[in-house]
Amino acid sequence: MPQTYDFDLFTIGGGSGGVRASRIAAGYGAKVGVAEERYLGGTCVNVGCIPKKLLVYASEFGEAFEDSAGFGWNRCRPRFDWRTLVANKDREIERLNGVYESLLTGAGARIIRHRAQLLDAHTVVVDGQQLTARYILVATGSWPTMPPIAGVDLAISSNEAFHLPELPARILIIGGGYIGVEFAGIFHGLGAQVTQVHRGPLFLRGFDDDLRAALAGEMKKRGIDLHFGTVVNRLERTAGGIAAALSNRVELEIDLVMCCTGRHPNSAGFGLEKAGVKLDGNTAIAVNEYSQTSVDNIYAVGDVTNRRNLTPVAIAEGHAVADLLFGGRSRTIDHESVPSAVFSQPPIATVGLTESAARARYGTVEIYKSVFRPLKHTLSGRDERTLMKLVVEPRSGRVLGAHMLGPDAGEIIQGLAIALQCGATKAQFDATIGIHPTAAEEFVTIREKS
| DSSP track, 394-418 | TTT-BEEEEEEESTTHHHHHHHHHH
Query: 331-370 burial by CB neighbour count: b if 16+ within 10 A, else e?
Result: eebeeeebbbbbbbbbbbbbbbbbbebbeeebeebbbbbb
Q: Which residues pair with 264 in a beta bridge?
A: 143
Strand 340-342 relative to strand 399-405: parallel, antiparallel, unpaired?
A: unpaired
Determine the Cα–Cα distance for residues 313 and 55; give it in Å rounded to an integer.
23
Closest CA to 384 of 372, 402, 400: 372
Q: Are 17 and 314 in contact (CB under 8 A)?
A: yes
Please, what is the Cα angle at 37 between 32 and 40, to 5 degrees?
Answer: 65
Q: Is 208 left (phi over 0), alpha (psi -120 to 50) or beta?
A: beta
Determine the Cα–Cα distance for residues 103 and 315; give it in Å rounded to an integer.
14
Q: Distance between the two ends of the chain, CA-based, in angstroms?
A: 69
Alpha-helical (H) ranges within 154-251 are 158-161, 178-189, 209-222
Annotated active-site positions, please?
Answer: 436
